[in-house]
Structures are given as structure tokens and as C-alpha cells.
């Protein structure tokens, strides 16, 4: 009986607190971010959440509720930012949650992972008064001209920088833990290998001797597979491991043995991997903050946004000052500046590589001096530059050819 009474009084107390906190708000704008997993994943979702939190800069945070928060803007509007985590990868689940978010009054909805693409583009047709964005999608699902935009970050620019740093330090053999052999990660692998070769050339080593060995784990993040792949590469004799999975477990595994080197990816890994040189990081806030501002201002327009260092959407973090001398860090910064200024494009010729033909034969691919891969060439990249080894990505469809564009004249 005593116990019941205690519980009862607790119920009454908390009930009254619960009712007290519900306050009606008039002028609100609601933005919803849908996440596949949890921001506590130290990877992809953590990176998105870092960007989402930057939206707080637009005003004063008046309420925080778990992952979600409300921001009071100068003009009196309350910006509600709703963050929904752990939605998963099932199409029907994603659509249901997105629909509930819209029914809950969302004015603007972001789908932040590949698998949400179909649901977001379907709902954009169904709800013309709601704005939609999809990140990291298929290259041929493009914006419409009313309420649906796509966005992505040119992470491969920073993959190139990561490779360049490793090259400058003289590391020529690198094991790489890759995710899916689809264009986005393939671009990243190639960017890293090209950077590695240019770094080696700069210190007088023969870039042709470098080797980047890829293992694809067929998952964006999977602790067990990441550890397995890293272990397999270390067993093969690699001492330098390039992480490209969304979570840091391959780097962590690498650093468990003294003398190994890891190169982090996505979200700063230095906290869990003390042998990491640095991490090339997503900076989604560079997109989220201005987009939300534009929606509030009524200047929002549809587009297919694809930017990198130039838009400050990428960063290098977690520099390991013991392993990377200051002059190397400075060179990396100079490289970043020239990429940001549009003076340097990692995907300009001469580049040679190999890939599969639709018939399954290995064919040579050549980007001559003075020519560069077009955006579409990069979005459909299914071949390796020389110096990368591993299972080939799937062949492009029949009749596929590189477009190539001329390099910007000096």
C-alpha cells in the first residue's frame, strides 16, 4: 500500500510538470531532419547532426527536447527543428515516418541517407506545399522545379587531401576499408589514390610503386565488418589503413597495434584512434544553415547542390601533431585553398585507369592532359585509377562513354 501511494504522488507531480510545459506557439516554421541511425554512431549520422546543430546559430535556442530544438529568431518566428533518428532502411518504414512528420506540421523535410530517396521523391509529389531535400542519392534522381532539391558534398576532394598527406609522409602501400563499390565511394578511393601518388611524387618517390588495396564491406557502417576488413588488411602486411566506412572501427582496430597508421574519415576519429594522421570531415552545416535561412526568407529555390571545399562543406580535423609535421599540415592547407579557389581539380588528366566493360573484360580508361572528368563522369565513376587494386566495381551500362570537359584555362 505504501508503495502505491508513493507512485501515485509521483504520477501526480510529473503529470503537472508535463502539462505545464506545453506552451502554444503562433508563428512557427518547422524543419524536420530524418536520420537512418543515431547521432551517437560517431559517423554519418553524427556528421549530419553536427551540421543540424549549427542551425542554432540562426537565433536563440529557447527549448531543447532530446535531439530536437526550437530556435527563436529575431523577427519573432520560432524555428522548430525536429530530428528523427533510427528510421532504418526499409522503404515503407521511411515513408511512414516521413508522412507522420509532415502530418505533424513540418514545412521542410530533409532525407539524409541514400535509402530515403524513393520515399522523399514520392512525398514531394504528394505534398507540393512542403519543401523536400534528399542527400547522397542516385545521380539521376534530380530536383523538380517546385519543391524538391538534392544535395551532396564532394567528399572526394578531401579524400584527395588525405591521400596527399599520406604521400608526403612517404607511405606508399595503403589498405583501404571501402563501403559499396558504387560511384561515390569509388570516387573517394580514386581521389585518395591520386592524392597519395601526387604526395609521393612531391617528395621524390616513384608514384607508380604505390598501391591502394581496397576491401569492400558492402555496408555503410558495420562494426564487425569494418574490424574484419581492417584485420584482413593488417594480416596481409599493410601498416597504413585508410578508413572509408562511416564509423571509426577500422581506424580503432588499426591503432591497437603500435606503429600502425590510420587515416580517419567522416567524423573526427582521433578520440578512438590515437594513431590516426587526421580525418577528412563532412561539414553539412555549410548547406543546412543557409538552406533553412533561405526557406525562412522565402528565397528558397530547387537545385542539385554538389559542393566541397569552395563552399566550406569539408574540413580536415584531428591533426596528429606527433605524426604529421607542421610543414605537411601547411602544404595540405595550401592544397585545400587551391581546390577551394577552383585552381586545382584532382580529376583532371593525365589520369589512366582500368575498369570493366559491359561484357566483363578489363578495359583501359584514359583522361588526357588538358581534359577533366565532367560532373556526370564523376557521378557515374565505376573504374579505378592506376595504383588501386581490389574487386572491380560493376560495369557501366552498354554504350557508356566518358563525356570529359576541357580543363579551365589558366
Residues lying near another protein in the complex (CB under 8 A) are found at 7, 10-11, 14-15, 17-19, 38, 65-68, 82, 84-86, 88-93, 95-97, 99-101, 103-104, 115, 118, 138-139, 180-183, 186, 218, 358, 380, 382, 393-394, 396-398
Q: Which residues contact 145 (CB under 8 A, 6 or more apart)?
A: 302
- Report in angstroms the alpha-carbon separations of 168 from 157, 197, 319, 329: 17, 9, 15, 10
At closest approach, how far in Å is the CB of 101 from another protein?
Answer: 7
Rounded to whole angstroms, how far apart are CA atoms 241 and 234?
Answer: 8
| C-beta of 18 vs 204, nearer to another protein | 18
| C-beta of 19 vs 326, nearer to another protein | 19
| C-beta of 32 vs 314, nearer to another protein | 32
At closest approach, how far in Å is the CB of 171 from another protein?
Answer: 28
| C-beta of 285 vs 393, nearer to another protein | 393
| C-beta of 67 vs 388, nearer to another protein | 67
At closest approach, how far in Å is the CB of 93 from another protein?
Answer: 7
At closest approach, how far in Å is the CB of 395 from another protein?
Answer: 9
Strands 173-178 and 211-216: parallel
Secondary structure in 3-state letters for 285-350: HHHHHHHHHHHHHCCCCCCEEEECHHHCCEEEECCCCCCCCHHHHHHHHHHHHHHHCCCCCCCEEC
At closest approach, how far in Å is the CB of 91 from another protein?
Answer: 5
| C-beta of 204 vs 399, nearer to another protein | 399
At closest approach, how far in Å is the CB of 85 from another protein?
Answer: 5
| C-beta of 97 vs 371, nearer to another protein | 97
Residue 350: asked if its preceding bond is cis (omega within 30°), the reply is yes
- Beta strand ranges found along 13-116 (DSSP E): 28-34, 60-65, 68-72, 78-84, 108-111
| C-beta of 10 vs 203, nearer to another protein | 10
At closest approach, how far in Å is the CB of 210 from another protein?
Answer: 25
What string of DSSP letters covers 160-171? HHHHHHHHHTT-
b/e burial code for range 199-230 (CB count within 10 A of at least 16 → b): bbeeeebebeebebbbbbbeebbbbebbbbbb
Grid coordinates of 323: 605524426
At closest approach, how far in Å is the CB of 183 from another protein?
Answer: 6
Backbone angles phi, psi at 223, to 5 degrees: -50, -50
On whether the CB atoms of residues 163 and 189 are closer than 8 A, the answer is no
At closest approach, how far in Å is the CB of 336 from another protein?
Answer: 29
At closest approach, how far in Å is the CB of 46 from another protein?
Answer: 15
Decide: helix, strand or coil at residue 155: helix
| C-beta of 18 vs 298, nearer to another protein | 18
| C-beta of 104 vs 368, nearer to another protein | 104
Q: Which residues contact 274 (CB under 8 A, 6 or more apart)?
A: 255, 320
Rounded to whole angstroms, how far apart are CA atoms 286 and 55?
Answer: 10
Q: Tell me how far apart the terminal alpha carbons of the chain are, to the nearest angstrom.
A: 86
Amino acid at each position: 500500500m505504501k508503495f502505491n501511494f508513493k507512485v501515485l504522488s509521483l504520477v501526480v507531480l510529473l503529470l503537472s510538470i508535463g502539462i505545464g510545459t506545453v506552451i502554444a506557439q503562433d508563428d512557427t516554421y518547422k524543419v524536420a531532419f530524418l536520420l537512418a541511425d543515431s547521432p551517437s554512431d560517431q559517423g554519418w549520422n553524427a556528421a549530419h547532426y553536427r551540421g543540424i546543430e549549427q542551425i542554432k546559430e540562426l537565433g536563440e535556442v529557447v527549448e531543447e527536447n532530446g535531439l530536437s530544438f526550437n530556435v527563436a529568431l529575431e523577427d519573432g518566428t520560432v524555428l522548430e527543428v525536429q530530428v528523427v533518428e533510427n528510421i532504418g532502411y526499409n522503404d515503407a518504414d521511411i515513408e511512414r515516418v516521413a508522412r507522420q512528420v509532415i502530418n505533424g506540421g513540418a514545412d521542410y523535410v530533409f532525407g539524409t541517407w541514400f535509402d530515403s530517396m524513393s520515399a522523399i521523391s514520392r512525398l514531394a509529389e504528394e505534398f507540393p506545399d512542403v519543401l523536400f531535400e534528399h542527400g547522397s542519392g542516385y545521380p539521376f534522381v534530380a530536383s523538380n522545379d517546385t519543391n524538391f532539391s538534392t544535395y551532396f558534398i564532394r567528399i572526394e576532394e578531401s579524400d584527395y587531401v588525405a591521400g596527399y598527406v599520406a604521400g608526403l609522409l612517404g607511405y606508399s602501400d595503403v589498405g583501404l576499408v571501402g563501403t559499396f563499390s558504387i560511384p561515390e565511394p569509388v570516387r573517394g578511393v580514386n581521389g585518395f589514390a591520386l592524392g597519395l601518388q601526387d604526395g609521393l611524387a612531391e617528395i621524390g618517390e616513384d608514384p607508380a610503386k604505390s598501391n591502394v588495396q581496397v576491401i569492400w564491406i558492402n555496408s555503410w557502417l558495420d562494426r564487425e565488418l569494418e574490424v574484419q576488413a581492417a584485420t584482413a588488411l593488417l594480416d596481409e602486411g599493410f601498416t597504413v589503413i585508410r578508413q572509408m566506412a562511416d564509423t571509426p572501427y577500422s581506424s580503432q582496430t588499426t591503432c591497437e597495434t603500435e606503429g600502425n597508421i590510420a587515416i580517419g574519415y567522416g567524423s573526427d576519429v582521433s578520440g578512438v584512434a590515437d594513431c590516426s594522421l587526421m580525418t577528412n570531415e563532412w561539414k553539412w552545416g555549410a548547406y543546412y544553415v543557409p538552406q533553412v535561412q533561405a526557406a525562412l526568407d522565402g528565397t528558397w529555390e530547387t537545385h542539385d547542390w554538389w559542393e566541397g571545399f569552395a563552399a566550406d562543406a569539408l574540413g580536415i580535423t584531428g591533426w596528429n601533431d606527433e605524426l604529421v609535421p607542421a610543414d605537411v599540415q601547411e602544404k595540405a592547407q595550401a592544397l585545400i585553398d587551391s581546390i577551394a579557389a577552383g585552381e586545382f581539380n584532382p580529376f583532371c588528366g593525365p589520369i589512366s585507369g582500368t575498369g570493366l566493360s559491359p561484357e566483363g573484360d578489363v578495359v583501359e580508361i584514359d583522361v588526357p592532359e588538358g581534359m577533366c572528368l565532367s560532373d556526370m563522369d564523376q557521378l557515374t565513376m565505376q573504374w579505378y585509377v592506376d595504383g588501386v587494386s581490389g574487386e572491380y566495381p560493376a560495369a557501366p551500362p552498354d554504350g557508356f562513354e566518358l563525356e570529359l570537359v576541357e580543363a579551365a584555362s589558366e
